[in-house]
Structures are given as structure tokens and as C-alpha cells.
Amino acid sequence: MAPSLRSLLCTAALVATQLVHAAPAELESRAVCGSIPANFKFTENYQLPDPFTSISGSKVTTKSEWACRQNEISQLFQRYELGTKPTKPAKVSGKYKNGTLTITAGQNGKSISWNVSITYPTTGKAPYPALIAYDGLSIPAPAGVAIIVLNNDLLGLQNNASSRGVGLFYDLYGSDATASAMMAWAWGVSRVIDVLETTPAAKINPERIGVTGCSRDGKGAMVAGAFDSRIVLTIPQESGSGGDTCWRLSDAMLDEGQVTQTASEIVNENVWFSEEFANFSTNTNLLPFDHHLLAGLIAPRGLLSFENSAVLWLGSWSAYGCMKTANRIYQALGVPENHGFSEVGNHSHCLFPDVQVPVLDAFVGKFLLDQAGTNTSVFEDDSSFRFDIPNAYVQWATPTLS
């Protein structure tokens, strides 16, 4: 039985770790080190699964082994929560004209096209770093950074639970594709980057790409960052359940009478997750992962989560605990400063408070503008939350990966 949230908050201790430098991320495809067995055996576990123990039970002690573990985690998320993200299709092309980038993708005799808009900064010089913003920008536009607006609904509709299989992505891969709407969006982001890599007229540096979004789009931005390692900075804003929170911790909040969104609610609300995920929605303890491992797919690249402690539905304590746990992965890779978390209340949902601007500027400066000496060691909240590790949910040790 899982411990109560109250008992967890009252008893905790700290674990010290040594840090090493992280290896650079590879491109979109990950190291392939094995596959998930078809008859995968589920084990009920109320704790947040150990990032450093593979499904075979072997311990991860090196960065090369972590690359294989990331591949394993990626497969698990695709099979049991998000659906399969297809690889780059046979034909991808694009063109740029007057602030509009057109992407065309073709596979098996079918073809789709869509546009994204590019707004250039008034400072800096081309080629510019860029933020891909789901459905428009909801954070302040950083100086020196271009903004690429992606209408993610075009790729995968998200009106309600009846939207499954609707959108350009499904026109190409079929309405029965396992990919959830969020995975369809992530696929679209990857195709935008493909075209930026081959279209110098767009004046964008494809090696300095970030992605952001708020609320449901924040969830989507985090998925995009997790499944394309060409993205150097991922900024989910108030992503809540299904983003930077952990399913198990949100369930614990609800068990304590705190009305927050959980898996059992979200699967009936929309098509952000795969149909397979509904099988786990009433018992997330069966999942062989949680969202600290989604963040782990982004590591060691830049990840900055913004949350809103004034909106209980978002699961503010769950986000805090989940990202505290995820930061252990960054510590193991020697780059805890590449992962930031800032949770501030007293503002409406998706309205960015001025007090968080310095944190945003620091991460943009480091990862998109390549500014040296930028301090990104930020993990803050305004609610005095406690999630010291080890605790009832996290009892595994954090190694130093060689």
C-alpha cells in the first residue's frame, strides 16, 4: 500500500551524490540496445521507478548504458502511454517565403503539407536560434530568438475524446495509428526541424532549437523534447498532469482529498494519450515508468519547467516531487544545472509572472544564445513543499555515471 502524502511530507532525508560531465545528445534516433519483450510482465509498484535499473534488472553505471536505458524508456512510453512516433518519412521537403515555412511530408504514395510562421527578433544576427511555440507563445519573447508558431491542432485534433485519429498526421499514417495527439505533434516538430536543416533561406540555426507551450500544449512540448534530441531546450509551462507531474504522486494528492487531475480523469477528457494508456488509468502503479523518466529522455539537454502553485488542478506538489526526482538523472549525468524548475502562484493559468523572467532568460541565454557563465541552477517554489530524497516514493540510489 502506498504511504499517505502526509506521512511522506513529515519524514525524509537527503542523499549526497558526486557529479560528472554529461555526453552530448545524439540526433533524433536513439541508441538501439534491445527491445521490450512482447510478453512484458507488469509489477505493481507505488514507488517512482528506478531510472538506473533496466527492465532486465541490470544496473546502469555508465553513460553508454544510460543511452540504452533511455532507448528502453522511450519504447515503454511509446507502447504504453503515447503511441508510436514514426521515423522520418521517405520524403520531406520545404520552402520559405515571407515569414512562412511550408513543410511537406510524404510516405507510401500519400503527402501532407502545412505552414508555420516565423517571427524574427530585432536583435542578434542570422541564423537565429528559435523557439517552436505550440499554438502561439505564452511566455515573454526572448531577445535575439526567433519564434516559430506551430498550429499543432492541424496535425492532431484535440477537441475532445472524439478527436482521435483526426488531423494531417493521421491523413498520412491512418486514423488507426497508435500515436496520440501529442505524439503526432512531436512528429510534426521533428519535420519542422528537418526542413530548417535544409532551408538556409529561413535564417534559423537548426542547432539552437527550443520548444514551448502552456497547459495541454505544455504537455505536448515536453513530449516533443523527449522524442527529438535535436531540441536543445524544452520549456513546458503549467503542463500539470501528463506533463511534468508524476501519475503516482497526483494519485496520492487525490487520495488526500486534493482535487487534482489524475490519469483516470484525463483519459476521458481528450486524446492526448494513446488508447493503450487507458488500461493503466485506474492503477498507475502498474506502469513501468512515470514522468520523471519522461524528463529523463530529455537529459542531459536543457529542461525548464514552469508551474503555477495557485492552480491545484495542475498538481503543484506532484510536479515539484516529480521534477525533484527527475533532477537526480541530471545529477547522475553531471549536469544538474541543465534542469530547472520554477513554481510561482498568484497569477492566472498561462499568464507568465514577471518574477520568473530572470529564470527564463538564464536558460535561453545558456541553451539558445550560447552565453557563457549563465547560472541555471534553479529549483524553486513558493509553497514550502518537501520532497527530500530518499523518501517513501524514491528509495533508489543516484549513481555517478562514468
Q: How far apart are CA 70 and CA 31, in angstroms?
A: 8
Q: Of the residues 64, 281, 349, 383, which is catalytic?
A: 349
Residue 379, Cβ neighbours under 10 Å: how many?
A: 16
Q: From edge to edge, which strands make up the β-sheet containing 146-150? A: 91-97, 100-107, 110-119, 146-150, 128-134, 204-214, 231-237, 302-307, 339-343, 379-381
CA 153, chain centre distance (Å): 18
Task: Give me Rg for the CA atoms of the chain.
Answer: 20
Nearest to 224 by CA among 272, 178, 276: 272
- Which residues, listed in sequence order, are joined to residue 150 by a DSSP beta bridge? 134
Helix, strand, coil share (%) of the chain residues, nearest 5: 35, 20, 50
Q: How far apart are CA 296 and CA 313, in angstroms?
A: 24
What's the farthest any 2 CA atoms get from each other in the chain? 60
Whether 215 is catalytic: yes
Nearest to 246 by CA among 144, 357, 320: 320
**Enclosing H/E stretch for 379:** strand 379-381
Query: Measured at the alpha carbon of residue 163, what is the angle toward residues 161 and 167, in degrees to the nearest 5?
Result: 155
Cβ 272 vs Cβ 266: under 8 Å: yes
Whether 281 is catalytic: no
Q: How far apart are CA 185 and CA 124, in angstroms?
A: 29
Q: Which three cell numbers stand for residue 64?
A: 553508454
Cβ 394 vs Cβ 47: under 8 Å: yes
Q: How far apart are CA 176 and CA 162, in angstroms?
A: 13
Contacts of 111 (CB under 8 A, 6+ apart): 91, 104, 105, 172
Q: Of the residues 180, 215, 318, 342, which is catalytic?
A: 215
Residues annotated as catalytic (active site), given as ranges: 215, 349
